Structure 1
Amino acid sequence: MPEQALALARRVGQAMYERDSASQAMGMRLVEIRPGYALMSMPVRADMLNGHAICHGGHIFTLADSAFAFACNSHNNVTVGAGCTIDFLAQAQEGDVLTAEAVEVSLSGKTGVYDVRVCNQDGRAIALFRGKSHRIAGHLVAPDGVGEAALNARHDH
């Protein structure tokens, strides 16, 4: 992988994470990003448990959706979700640390397909998510790193 593409993906990931209050509030961390790929983690806290005392599926979905968002935006083209599905495979408990690994399956024109596997700290599969992306206009960071402050100011609204 070209070093320039990796560096750009990392700048995109950092810029997105700094503006992503939702992921931050849930305790998510961006562990790794590269073109077409993102790995995020999230600890399961007591306030994430449902009435069965297991992690609420909405929190698991949000972790997978965030990893998907970082992976599909890693090419520095503003990209949004066009649809997704999720299958829950196992329960997550308080104290688990979940990881969501998003991998680009297909990217053609303005659309992409990404698979996200959510696992616990033991590697047990918790959920499988498939997201479809659609590229819209713009970039997240200046491709050459020049003028990023002005570009980022547009996203602060």
Structure 2
Amino acid sequence: MAQSAAPEPPSDPLLRVADMPDAERAALREMFQGSPLNAMLALEIVELGPAHALVSMPVAADALNHAGTLHGGAIATLIDQTCGTIAARAGGLDYTTHTLVTADLHVRYLARTRGAAVHARAEVVRAGRQLIIVDCAVTDDTGTLVATADFSSMIVPKRAR
């Protein structure tokens, strides 16, 4: 008796932001870079799928620490923004009634950066109705694994101001 093949897992189609229609790309970049912190660090969405996001950040002088290496806080911000972006997408966040808050972020710093930029790739582990779990890896231009992280966020109702 022949064994049936296991079903293929759902694919996470690659959606390069550069390949999006102009209006959609502009709206996504405006929303993402509308944050002063994202703009200061020059974070840029490169890819977006149903279960992954890739965001790049230049290694700029303003983001270096006293030792001349990329500051851990800048790396943590890159991770938080990348993971939050895909968590909102995977969780079906309705921005009119709810918001997404980081519940937990654990970063493991593994190496110093080499090259002109770092790249965070975040992948959804599980997206529940309220809690979304994401794993993230940060590499530099040379392919060196700079940091890994696990992230969880919660979808919560917006507060009245």
TM over 0.5: yes
Q: Contact 2:55/2:119 (CA < 8 Å) preserved in 1?
A: yes
Is the alpha carbon distance of 1:73 and 1:124 closer, same or farther for their aligned partners in structure 2, counting shifts above 3 Å? same
Helix, strand or coil for the counterpart of 2:74?
helix
Structure 1: distance between partners of 2:51 and 2:31 = 15
Report the TM-score, using the length of structure 2 for normalisation: 0.72
Matched, 1:109 2:129: yes
**Which has the bigger relative contact order, CA under 8 A and spacing at least 6?**
1
Q: After superposition, give the CA deviation of every residue in 1:96-137 in whole Å (9 maximum; x if it has no partner).
A: 210000100011221111011010011110000111111123
Is the alpha carbon distance of 1:116 and 1:32 closer, same or farther for their aligned partners in structure 2, counting shifts above 3 Å? same
Tell me what 2:58 maps to.
43
Larger Rg: 2
Tell me what 1:90 maps to.
111
Which deviates the most, 72-81 or 28-37? 72-81
Structure 2: distance between partners of 1:62 and 1:114 = 15
Report the TM-score, using the length of structure 1 for normalisation: 0.74
Q: Mark the runs of 5 or more structure 1 residues left unpaired by the alignment.
A: 139-156
Q: Contact 1:13/1:74 (CA < 8 Å) preserved in 2?
A: no
Structure 1: distance between partners of 2:77 and 2:69 = 15
Matched, 1:69 2:69: no
Q: Mark the runs of 5 or more structure 2 residues left unpaired by the alignment.
A: 1-9, 94-98
Q: Contact 1:33/1:74 (CA < 8 Å) preserved in 2?
A: no
Alignment: residue pair count: 133
CA RMSD of aligned residues (A): 2.6
Greater helix proportion:
1
Percent identity, aligned pairs only, is: 27
Aligned mate of 1:79, from 88, 92, 100: 100
Is the alpha carbon distance of 1:104 and 1:61 closer, same or farther for their aligned partners in structure 2, counting shifts above 3 Å? same
